Structure 1
């Protein structure tokens, strides 16, 4: 292992060392050193100011020399160190220092200056530790949001001494030090054409071609090349090829995740690597228990990017461990985890419970992006979680100014889709109305339309904004550069207009022009109604035929003049007798049978979705007697049908009786 010397009095040792700022600079005239350092560091970080790069040193260019009167000299910009203790007490030989202690101290520092001060107290430094120190400095530079390191760090003599051997003699570095130094410099906005980077990359390529890099080094090199040269570089293909030849049992969990990240960057070549990906997906099942929350999030993100829909066993197993780690995820990690579960269609009641506890405990401190994603997860999976939705409503009321228009729309759409009103509904919609009045034009037209349509699903009709929706100006904005409006937007406009007629008779504003109205809400795509469950439909049809005595006494899939499609319609005369469906005279009452399968309810519940609730609500306003039917095929059809007819939401109990005249069945309220 190479040792890097940071002290002047050890600069002539024969083994490989960094000639610290004292030795490396003392041995040459100041002007010559000044010029050499300037030329060497000029191209490193593109974010440096364009003014000439200058390195300032004291007359002896050293920090540790004692002056004749015993006082220390301190370079400009360097912290002053206490000299209460003897100077030699700071000189620690890292050959004998426990590496764990070194890395522990290194990770405990919170600024680059602290790292440099610590390094400055050391006598010799193995190259792997020097590379780790360089990486820590760059990590903190990135954490501070800088594109490059500050000039104070670049001009620091310890930092310069730390970097010299990585540029001048990379062939003497160990594999670990080599790839770690390369990885460190790619954390910041580094000029790819700098001598330092070019030399490091060249040495890595040389060792790669000789097959001299182990698994971890290949993974680090692969990720570094992606950042420096992009995923299309030829060297990266060689890295992946060599990784494919390694046994996955030799990979640490961190290396497996790094492998996912490398392949994620090459999504356009995912098909070429699918066989390799299948092996990785299968092997990853055995390491899930050893993954940190960060690594779990990264794997799920990669699986989404690589469209690994066939890796559902891995997704499911990751989901089980996600439940355990929910409180430990950062906001960004949790958001990506939930986005992956949305993408793969994964849901788990234990995950829902863990999310409920997490969201409720951090209600007003969660990042808006996380709140939005958690809400989208519940909405997409049709999960009616009252704790989550209540927390979301509270967050909106208290922190609406932190939410973007699209995030606000996502929150309200969830309430509409799941047909749920939180306890603070009055505060929620008052706040929403104030926000819309203030920022109406800030909402994209389609986003605004979805938001207001969602309000109508849960009977909070946006009457104050309907006139704006039907105005030519808004419709033109909604149209944008398209030649015609999409089907979903037209359906939402039509249902809002129908709502203003049926449920808001006091609305006297502009009407929606006929050319913007649809004829049916049930379409193959972008439908505002849920298609009937076919198996359930067949059972009901069979029961009706047996019970009524013929197919002519009911009609199925009837499109009403008000755009809704009724699963089954039965016509009754004034006395309650069933009429053939072809008869249009003497119809006193119409019964709408809603054959509600599981897809019309929230997940694992009997709570209707918003689009089904508004349909049944408005059918009642139109004069239909709405009866919900939900039976299983294993039941006695006639008995089940009779029981189903006794289940009537919101209207008097209805049932068929056996009173009839001849072959004419009868239906009355008994």
Structure 2
């Protein structure tokens, strides 16, 4: 009991004068401790003001400021913070630093404020003698600096680009690592958001790794959306386990996220290519439920993240398009380009939005960079969209880009000319520029996926020059490079739809010589099957006839009079724009090329085929499609 009494009295004597009372208060404390006091005891005289007692170093490890801020140099902490926040430049802060260099906490606050107001000449500030004195004060009293201020100090030193080998910086990093277990989860999330962008050295990366491990062990303590966003944005790339545990937290708090917080989480997932469907679906659902409009910056970032993760939710995309539509004239060229590129990647087609962007291109054609205009045209080609003001738009494109072709990179040039081929706006000048040897030599014969993709686009451009531009006089791609970029037919990459169609066609054409499957054409397109019917609609053996559409033809005879060559082409779900029956630009170009090459195209869309249940129904459907194509050809 005596020890407890002394402890309580010590705390009372160490309190500030405003909290001290007369000796009666001390007697009352003693009474609460359980010691009887005689009522007749004379009232003692007031005690002198005690000197401050030494407190444990653990008092410094608080996540916030103490309730009673100590007075230093006759100025309380609130007034001191107001004073330094009112200063506009680093010189003023360095001038007053001499009065506060003996206090580590205040020196840390001054450094943090210097980092906020310093935009340029950071090296000059860091090399200033007075700044060095502030660092020395921080280094001497590093253990007494409050946790929140220590975190802000570390971020400020990174922002000021203090040398990574600086002793004071290393000391602050070490102190932060020692205190990680004493930080609250909220402060750990804030530390992660502040430090992660600056982690370059091995020591800094080790700090981020330790931070992720601490949050991973204490993930159940996350109780607010801001901490959750900070953790996912900064630490999910370090620890995949932490991201998996955060999925439950996101589902719990998804309804409370602001659009900006949802944007931050989605962009963080896209940065590490983590396609977490539970998180994406939850965030998208609650974004759709909100009545408030999404701002353009949020829409642009969300569209980019969804495009990178290949995640399409039609209701959200519709909301984004409707919210963005009235603000298209105010968008910057970069935002407009990024938005339409993302929507085209997701195969989402909004006619009003595309028309608005096309109109904006006409109005600001002089301010659009050639690369930006080429990117917008590529997006229109992916969606197979032609503006209503087609002639005016095409004239602007030719006028704006004809003289800029040499400034475009080879890949951008191929994209531009391929897009014009899809939109049927290409001219011989554009074709000639794309089919020059110095352009196609950079892509043909290369093994990379990018080179293969551009090689196919060059083959499509070459096919457009041969089939759709009779006034074009060359050059054309040599036969060798064309055969090199065209992937071989067959293999295990055939879809279930293609396999079902092949099986049904074998019932329709039991003679193997009358139907060829999975044919690779010289135009860069595959067809599921090819057959020839005579004037009486009887199948003919293919090996007897020449095949001008393939790379190496075995037959030599021309087709008899009245005979027709057919190509069966299946259309998968991914070949159409989202929730429409309109083909994307790539496959619309394929259909057009096949027809220009002399084929009657028998189209089999997935949404019609999936309604057929029996083999008899599938065979009957193919026969009906063939008759329908013949009837259309005869009626023309």
Alignment partner of 1:595 out of 543, 546, 570? 570
Whole-angstrom distance in 1 between the partners of 2:464 and 2:363: 30
User: What is the CA–CA distance in structure 2 between the aligned matches of 1:571 and 1:385, rounded to whole Å?
Assistant: 40
Q: 2:456 maps to what in 1?
A: 491
Query: CA–CA distance in 1 between the matches of 2:225 and 2:310?
Result: 26
Of the candidates 567, 591, 596, which is equivalent to residue 528 of structure 2? 567
Structure 1: stretches of 5+ with no match in the other structure: 4-12, 24-90, 121-125, 526-530, 655-667
| Paired residue secondary structure (1:438) | coil
| SS of residue in 2 equivalent to 1:465 | helix
Q: Are the counterparts in 2 of residues 138 and 149 from structure 1 also a CA contact under 8 Å?
A: no
Q: Confirm or deny: 8 A CA contact 1:261 1:302 kept in the other structure.
A: yes
Alignment of 1:532-611 (within 5 A): 533-535=495-497, 538-539=500-501, 541-542=503-504, 544=505, 553-560=514-521, 564-582=525-543, 584=545, 586=560, 588-611=563-586
Map 1:193-592 → 2, pairs under 5 A: 197=169, 200-208=172-180, 211-222=181-192, 226=196, 227=198, 230=201, 232-233=203-204, 234-263=206-235, 267=237, 270=238, 273-309=239-275, 311-323=276-288, 324=290, 327-329=293-295, 331=297, 334-400=299-365, 402-475=367-440, 486-518=451-483, 521=486, 533-535=495-497, 538-539=500-501, 541-542=503-504, 544=505, 553-560=514-521, 564-582=525-543, 584=545, 586=560, 588-592=563-567
Cα deviation for residue 639 of structure 1 reads 4.9
Deviation at 1:571, TM superposition (A): 2.0
- Kept in 2, the 8 Å contact 1:593–1:626? The answer is yes
Give TM-score, length-normalised by structure 1: 0.67
* CA displacement at 1:358 relative to structure 2: 3.2
Instruction: Supply the distance in 1 between the matched residues of 2:621 and 2:87 (Cα, whole angstroms).
Output: 70
Task: Give 1:391 deviation, angstroms.
Answer: 2.9
SS at 2:182 equivalent = coil
Aligned-pair distance for 1:567? 2.5
Structure-1 separation of matches of 2:113 and 2:257: 23
Greater mean deviation of Cα atoms: 467-476 or 546-555: 546-555
- In 1, Cα distance between equivalents of 2:262 and 2:582: 34
In structure 2, C-alpha distance between the alignment counterparts of 1:398 and 1:168, rounded to whole Å: 62
Number of equivalences: 543
CA distance in 1, matches of 2:404, 2:124: 41
Contact 1:204–1:221 under 8 Å retained in 2: no
In structure 2, the gaps of 5 or more residues are: 1-14, 17-50, 53-68, 98-102, 546-558
Residue 619 in 1 paired to residue 584 in 2? no
Q: Distance in 1 between matches of 2:520 and 2:442?
A: 31
In 2: Cα distance, 1:511 partner to 1:205 partner = 64
Give the deviation of 1:193 after TM superposition. 5.6
Contact 2:177 2:210 in 1 (8 A): no
1:146 aligns with 2:120: yes
- TM-score in terms of structure 2 length: 0.70
Q: How much is the aligned-residue C-alpha RMSD, in angstroms? A: 4.7
Q: Residue 162 and residue 283 in structure 1: after superposition, are their counterparts in 2 closer, same or farther (change >3 A)?
A: same
